[in-house]
Structure 1
Amino acid sequence: MSREDLPRLGLGTYSDDNREQWRDNVRTALDVGFRHVDTAHVYENEQYVGAGIRESDVARDDIWLSTKTVHHDVPSSVEQVPAAIDGCLDRLGVDFVDLLYVHWPSGIYDHETVLPAYDDAYEAGKTRNVGLSNFTPDLLDEAMAVLDAPLYAHQAEMHPLLPQRELVAHAQQHDYTFVAYSPLAQGEVFDVPEIRDVAEKHDATPPQVSLAWILSHDNVAAIPKASSREHMVQNLAALDLDLDEEDIALIDSIDRQHRVIDAGHGPWNWEDDVTQG
């Protein structure tokens, strides 16, 4: 399966409450045109995401479904990883996912013991592709040296306030997709003057400009979260927003840096020799 098969704009489904909403939200997102849905074991909403897919009028074969397991505290032992993968499929109510990520390179994660379970899932057809999430370039290189399955994608936070140039360059060099989560910095991009200026120029919204800026990078996709039909439609419209070189240069010039998801177990907090940004 080629890198181009992954829809470049998908629906992120993380929320810390009202997880049941994702049944209706997924169904709505598919109805307005999304074909890429992203969830995770630790989100505790896979059963609702799966229900939304089944209740949709869109055929399963036309939907790209991604999930993640091996969070920093789930599961609690390497021996539980195969069962954790099966649990994702069971909760989603599917025989396979299109992309299965290692959620974090922390907790029980060890490349030599965890990644073989992902290779086994790939060989068994439980996932069509293998991905990693929240890794650094060094950890990506380490994982790629162990994985038998090709690395299809790496998912991490990216937006105009955290451009992740090193990680994007790594994806481009090795020809896999970088998937940007929190691409709107949980709303913090809305009031950035440079983004507002570009939005006014194009009669667009700041979220659309931020998404279009992300999608202007080769090998990069984005998974904004949205819970209303209106916002979903607006996000999809970013696919048709063409920023010119002046727009991109203005956004690239933003000198404010901010990481929204800054977990203590994130490898950028414990690898002194690797910098992000």
Structure 2
Amino acid sequence: MTFGYTLLVALLLLLPGFAGYYGYRVGEASDFVSPRPDRPNSTQTIFLIVLLALVGHVVGAGLFAVNETLASWKTLVPLPYDPNPYKALINGRPPTGLSSLAIELELSFFLALAGAMFWLCEKIARAKLIASRTDPIRFGWLAPIVQKAGIGDHVAVGYVRTTSEHDGAWIAYEGSVRRLTLDDDDGIKMIVLEQCDRFLVRIKDDRMERVDVESSPIAMMHIASEQIADFAIEIFEVPAPANETNTPAANALEGEG
């Protein structure tokens, strides 16, 4: 077995696992919070990639098993070689008689298998049953807030005191949270606020006071972790729009009619 063929075999075997894991990461991403990044050399990540690759190849080998069963009953397209690539991988050498078109079809099979794993894992990550169980792992202490904000009937308001200080006053911002990013330790790595207001925070001996600043709201504000001294978040329920047909005036008109 040459080095080139060995490298190709390793890439083909791991491709469905990487595609499935990437699809799961894409599916678990939220519009509100970005999941925590993978830790370097994480055994959990390696385990999931290998497991997903094995699942994909079990499905792929099953398709060729079904094809072989049907071919034994009736051959639809005669081929000068065995089309099952897993037999070649186990034998450790490519089969003889492969044409350029055959190589193209074999590689296309693995590419299609990787695409199917990406699509399937993305759908699994977005399933409510899976998301409800994995949200505490993905988002940590923000999981309850993410779940409420994802429904659409709650809005998150963030308060950020920055590290910018002058004469005992710190610059702070208040606005609706557009997006959050967590680091490995569940800390705020980045926050984006919409329609945020600026104000000053003064800390005295016995109290902390807020000094509002007359200024127009900022449409969007990006604050990195190096600029964040303190951060607080609050959830508010968005009231449902009133139904005009159920108002007392409308009911009185219907009674008169």
The TM-score, its normalising length taken from structure 1, stands at 0.21
Could you say which structure has the higher helix fraction?
Answer: 2
Could you say which structure has the higher strand fraction?
Answer: 2
The TM-score, its normalising length taken from structure 2, stands at 0.22
